[in-house]
Each structure stands twice: as C-alpha cells, then as structure tokens.
Chain A
Amino acid sequence: MTLLRLHKVKRTYSTRQGLFGETEQVSAVNGVSLSLERGRTVGLVGESGCGKSTTGRLALGIELPDSGDVTFDGTRLPHPNTKAWKALRRRMQLIFQDPLGALDRRLTIGAQIKEPLAIHKIGSPADHEGQVHRLLAAVGMRPDQAASYPHELSGGQRQRAILARALATSPDILVCDEPVSALDVSIQAQVVNLLLDLQKEFGLAMLFISHDLKLVGCLAHEVAVMYLGLIVEQGEPATLYNEPAHPYTKALLAAVPDSTRRGPRPLLSGEPPNPAARPTGCAFHPRCPIAVPKCSQVEPALLPRADGRLVACHLAHVESAAGEKVS
C-alpha cells in the first residue's frame, strides 16, 4: 500500500557566489518520482550534491517542490507550518546525521522525548513518563537514561535517543538522512539493526538516504541511485548490485572499498559535477566511459526494463532491447 508518493518533483535554489557574486539557479532535484510503502524501505544513494537530501525534505513537506507534487495517503501535502501540515508531521519523522546537533543540549533526553507528546497532545501528561520509558526501551536504552543530557551519552546512544523521540508520535514514515555516517562501525551496526527491528515492529515506511551503498543494501527493499537531481537507476538491490545497468551505478559499485580486492579497479574519472552547471543530455555523459554522441544531446528517460527495474540510459535500453522486446 503506497503511503507517500513523490510525483515528478522539482526543486531549484537561487544561490549567490560570495558577497559580490551573481545569483545563479541551482537545480537540486530535477523531476524525481518515488513511492514509499508501509513496512518497506527505499534507499536513496548518490554522491554529495546529487539532491538526495533535498528529496528527503520534499518528501516530508519541509520544503515545497517548485513543480510536481507529493501526496500522503492520497492527499496532497499541505503548506509547511500550517495547522494541517503540523498534524501530518506527527506521522512523518526525520532523522539526520549529526546526533548532537539534533538534540537540545540544555534539555534532558526524557524532556526531549516528551516534547512531541505534548506538542501533538498525545495521551495525558500523566502517561508521558511511562511513554518515555517505553520508547527508550524500544530503542534499547535504560529508563534512567531519560535523566541524562545529550553530552553525557555516546554517539550511538544519542542517535537512539533521537529515534525514540521520532517514534514518540507513532509515525508511519521515517526519513533517515545519513543517520549513521557519524558513528563507529560497531555502533553503526547497532543502529542499523535497531532500524530493521523498529520497521518490523511498527510497520514503518522508510526512506534511507546515504552515500554508502553497502549500508543501503543492508536496509533497503528497493534502491534508487541519484545523479544530479535525477534517479538514473532504480530496482531491487539484488538486481542492481549484481548487474548494474547504468554506467554510473557500475562506477559507484566499483568504487566501494572491498577487502577482497587487490590491485587496481576501474575508476570513475572527474569530480562530482556542479549542479549549477548541468551538462546537456544525460548529465552523466562527461564522466561516462561508454557515452555516445546521442548522450550529450538527448536526455534519457527513466524507463522500465524487462527485469522490472528502471534505468535512464540510452545504451542500457539498447542492450536489453536487443535480447527481448520491451513494451
């Protein structure tokens, strides 16, 4: 059952370069469609500046798309900071990278978990104490840790506390933006397992945004690869990781550090591109090892292939069409 649907959303920012610079238009998200379903996770991967975080904020309605629309349970998301939006917000929560920055350092963990309960008038104030303890238990923390301040906790515990706060409103959707990249490997694994458990327990729909393909693979039922504001490939991790169809997905996978690899690997040349200077045609063509003239002229559409996944590459479709007929 589709809970949240993004349909061809676009978002453009104006930025000024320096104090005297001219303003320029930076297209962060350039027409992305995604749907989140209950109990399932969509992983969004890509390099910095590819628009994955902006997509997350559009999904939550923290920002409005310039065009396209976001629907939640079949209705369009209301404007940010309106009453209707605030009511919806309790059903959608965001978790992001810096666990210390996301917490108020002057308040105890318990007080911060209680806050959304009070804001959204969930239960009676008398129940709140017990609710805080239940939430802390759900994320694997002790009840006495409600009295601690953020700086008294380790990074992993802080991220748990944030999860507890996010769960306070019993959300349907969790958007996680690089939630574990600041954590140590052993702690990262704890949080990943916790997310998996919580999803099973509460049937959460999750959008998991990360630059780490390995991490996304551990959590996601479906992976979308973004490049310069567009999804270039989308499908099940098994198909995507085993035989990537888009050259960019191939390059990303080849770049993943692998302890079994010795010696050189195929390297993607060049830098992550500047969203303010988007190449024509397929945005990836300047870095693409197999680009043909058409790639710099015609923007490839994100089309389904026979194996069910979506790919936006002229050549990937030629390849698959040669073998079988694609409707």
Chain B
Amino acid sequence: MLLFATKRVARAILTVLIVVGCAFAALRLSSDPALVVLGPDAPPSAVAAFRAAWGLDQPLWQQFFYYIAGLLRGEFGRSLLNGADVLPLVGSRVLVTLEIMIPALAIGILVGVSAGAYAALRHNTPKDRLVMMGAVAGFTVPHFVLGLVLVLIFAVHLGWLPSGGNDSWRSAILPVVTLSTGWAAVLARFTRSSVVEVLGQPYIRTASAKGLLWRAVIIRHALPNAAIPVVTTIGFMVGGLLAGAVVTESVFSWPGLGQLIVTSVAARDVAVVQCVLLLVATAMVLSNMTVDFLYTLLDPRLRGGRH
C-alpha cells in the first residue's frame, strides 16, 4: 500500500515535470521573447542586453535547470513585462476564476446528475427524450456561441444583466450559466447511461425480489452503483476547472486565469504562462489521484485482496 502510494506520487511528479518541460521548450523555441517584448525594430544591443538579463542567452537545458531549481526554492519567476513576481499575479487570477467556476460546477453537477437520473428512470419515454435533446444541445453548442447568445438576450435586448466585467455578483450570472450548461449536459448524458446500465443488472431485480419498494431499490442499490463512473467524470471536471474558462472569460471579459493565459501567451510572457501551466498540470494530476482514491472508496472490488 505504502509502496504503491509512493509510486503513484513519483509518477504524478514526473507527469507534471514532463508537461512543464514540453511547455518550456515550446515557448522558448516558438519565438524570441526579447523581440516580442522590445519590438521587431529594437536595436541588437538592446536585444542582447535583454537576453543576458533574463538568461535567455544560455542553452535551453540550462535555462530549464535554473527554472526547476527556482521552483524548488519557491521562486516561480518574474514577468518579462514588468518584472513582478508571477505567483501573486497568477494567484489572484485563480481566485477570480474560481468565483465563477465553483458555482458553475456546483450547478452543473446538481442539474446534470438529477436530469440524467430523471431521464434514466423514465428510460425511452418522451420525457427521457426531451431531457436528452436538451443535453445534446447543451453539449454541442460551443461556449462562445452560447455566451454571445446569452449576452444578446439578457444584456443587449432585455438589459437585465451586465454583458461583461466583474463589478458585482450580477456580472457572474451569465458566465456561470454558460459554463454550467456544458457540464450539466455532459453529466446528464453520463448519469443517464450509467443509471440505465445499472438498472439492467441482475442485482436490481434481486433487490426488488427481496421486497424493496422501487424507490428504495433506486436509492439503496441503483444510485450507489451508478455513482461510480459519474464521480470519476466529476473528478476530471474539477481537474480541468482552472483551464476550462479561457473562452468563457474572454467572451464576458472576466479577468480570471483564462484571460491571463490569453494575454501572456500573446505577449510571450514566458514566466507567467509557465506558472499557469504548472498550476493547471498539478491540478489535473491531483484530481486524477483523487479520482483513483474515490474509486477505491466507492467500489470495494478495487480495494483488492481476498482476506
């Protein structure tokens, strides 16, 4: 068990390292930050000075080594644009992103799981088909389309809600709705198929045959089994939470992590992009590990060992 956990953590760290390394190489090789920051017409002496100041004149592997060494000391780098420490910058943006992500995820789970379960229990009825049509629609419409439509209706035509920014809680409503629609749709489809599959299992018939009312069969036997794959999906959603709002934040000019990614990539602010990627990769890996752990918690078959 301990050995297994150690292996798991080592593999997770390796994954993060590989992601960060690839991003590092890609960012450095795709274009020259010095030229981007100083402009294409900058004098060669200024470019050379900039490179020397930021260590960009050293070989790539050495730059990477310094970067990792810095990470181990808790230094995440400084912005190429203004020399500020990137960690507080990224951190503050994370909080802003979570302001819309957490409510959106909560609503998505609530709506998606209940809609999916509702559809499954009315399998192959018009109600089931209606819910699933809604889910397909929510799943296929891209965020930017849905976001723009919502802006058109509620901000431009009705004037009920602001079209962007984050001045008050009311500006969060449209982005939250946009984000939660997608998640709810995915979860509804997933929950439905999971519940439908479980309802066809012999142990559901056994539960009825022992004299449980149908409602109790669902609550006590169907849902705990159907939850296993659904919880996994939710786990992966949580992992993708930080990086998931790039489009939506741009549409609603929500000053979160997504916007920061867009602006820093455009400006080749390597240190910021690097830090964001590190964060996102870590979140993914952590949620992966949590999902594995939840799996074994929910499904005794994975706990292993005939005693």
Chain A interface (Cβ < 8 Å from any Cβ of B):
16-21, 274
Contacts and interface: CB of A to CB of B under 8 A. Distances in A.
Nearest to A18: B304
Interface of B: 1, 4, 292, 295-296, 301-306
Contacts of A19: 4, 292, 295-296, 302-304
Contact of B301 (A18, A20, A274): A18
Contacts of B302: 18-19
7 contacts: A18-B296, A19-B295, A19-B302, A19-B303, A19-B304, A20-B4, A274-B306
B228 to A, nearest CB: 13
A274 B306 CA distance: 11
Interface of B (DSSP majority class) = helix
Contacts of B301: 18
Nearest to A277: B306
Nearest to A16: B304
A20 B296 contact: yes
Nearest to B4: A20
A274 B301 CA distance: 18
A231 to B, nearest CB: 27
A20 B300 CA distance: 12
A111 to B, nearest CB: 31
Q: Give the interface centre of A16, A17, A20, A274 by most chain B CB atoms within 10 Å.
A: A20
Contacts of A21: 304-305
Contacts of B1: 20
A18 B292 contact: no
Residue from A16, A17, A19, A21 having most chain B Cβ neighbours under 10 A:
A19
A313 to B, nearest CB: 29
Given A16-B304, A18-B301, 20 more contacts: A17-B304, A17-B305, A17-B306, A18-B296, A18-B303, A18-B304, A18-B305, A19-B4, A19-B292, A19-B295, A19-B296, A19-B302, A19-B303, A19-B304, A20-B1, A20-B4, A20-B296, A20-B303, A21-B305, A274-B306
Contacts of B292: 19
Contacts of A274: 306
Contacts of A17: 304-306
Contacts of A20: 1, 4, 296, 303-305
Nearest to A17: B304
The 4 closest A-B pairs by CB, nearest first: A18-B304, A21-B304, A17-B304, A19-B302
Nearest to B306: A17
Nearest to B300: A18
Contacts of B296: 18-20
Contacts of B306: 17, 274
A266 B302 CA distance: 38
A19 B298 CA distance: 13
A88 to B, nearest CB: 39
A48 to B, nearest CB: 16
Nearest to A21: B304
A18 to B, nearest CB: 1
Central interface residue in B4, B301, B304, by most chain A CB within 10 Å: B304
B307 to A, nearest CB: 10
A274 B1 CA distance: 23
- Listed residue (A17, A18, A274) with the most chain B CB atoms within 10 angstroms of its CB: A18
A147 to B, nearest CB: 31
Nearest to A274: B306
Contacts of A18: 296, 301-305
A20 B1 CA distance: 6
A19 B295 CA distance: 10
A19 B302 CA distance: 5
B306 to A, nearest CB: 7
A18 B1 CA distance: 11
A21 B302 CA distance: 9
B181 to A, nearest CB: 34
A17 B296 CA distance: 13
A274 B304 CA distance: 16
A17 B304 CA distance: 5
A179 B182 CA distance: 48
Nearest to B295: A19
Nearest to A276: B306
A19 B305 CA distance: 9
A20 B296 CA distance: 9
B213 to A, nearest CB: 34
A5 B287 CA distance: 53
Nearest to B304: A18
Contacts of B4: 19-20
A20 B297 CA distance: 12
B53 to A, nearest CB: 50
A18 B296 CA distance: 9
A271 to B, nearest CB: 12
A246 to B, nearest CB: 28
A20 B5 CA distance: 9
Contacts of B303: 18-20
A16 B301 CA distance: 12
Nearest to A19: B302
Contacts of B295: 19
B300 to A, nearest CB: 9
A238 B9 CA distance: 62
A16 B306 CA distance: 11
A21 B301 CA distance: 11
A274 B302 CA distance: 19
A137 to B, nearest CB: 39
Contacts of B304: 16-21
